[in-house]
Amino acid sequence: MQQRYKATRQTPFTFLITFTDIDALLQRYPDTLSFTLDKESSLAFSALIDRGRSLFQQARGHARKMLHDQGVLPLVDAVKIDGGDNVIDTFSMPLLPIILHEDSKHFFALTGQLAAWRQELQAFWSER
C-alpha cells in the first residue's frame, strides 16, 4: 500500500512557529541536566541532544524552503463572509497552495525521525 504525504502550506508554518526556540532550549539541556549523570551517560546524553538539534535544523531548513517555494506562486485576495453576506475577514493566499509530493514526503520523513528521537530521549531518561 502506497503511503500518501500531503502537507498544506500551514504544516511547515506551524512547525516553524511551534519549534521557534528549540535549538536554544536543546543547547541548555546538557549544561542543566548532565550534572545528574555519570560521565558515560553524560556523553551519551550530549550525543543524543546533538542529534536532535541536527534533526530540528534539517526540518526547519526544509520547512523554510517549502514556504519560500510558495512565495513564487501568484497571489489572490480572498474574503470570508458570514451568514449575512458581510465580509468578516480578508487575506491573501497563493493561487495554488500546493506543496510538492517530494517536499511533503521529505518533511514527514524528518518529522518521523524527530518523533523517533523523542522516544529515544524518553527511553534514555526512563533508564536512569
Query: Could you report the per-residue pLDDT of 83-105, keeping only the tens digit for each?
Result: 999 988 887 766 665 678 899 99
Max mean pLDDT range (13-17, 73-77, 107-111): 107-111
Q: DSSP secondary structure string, 21-86? A: THHHHHHHHHHHHGGGS-HHHHHHHHHHHHHHHHHHHHHHHHHHHHHHHHTTSPEEEEEEE-TTS-
In the numeric block, which cell numbers belong to residue 20?
521557534
Lowest-confidence pick of 1-10, 13-22, 26-35, 49-58: 1-10
Res 2: pLDDT: 45
Q: Which three cell numbers stand for residue 66?
A: 517549502
Residue with more model confidence, 109 or 6? 109
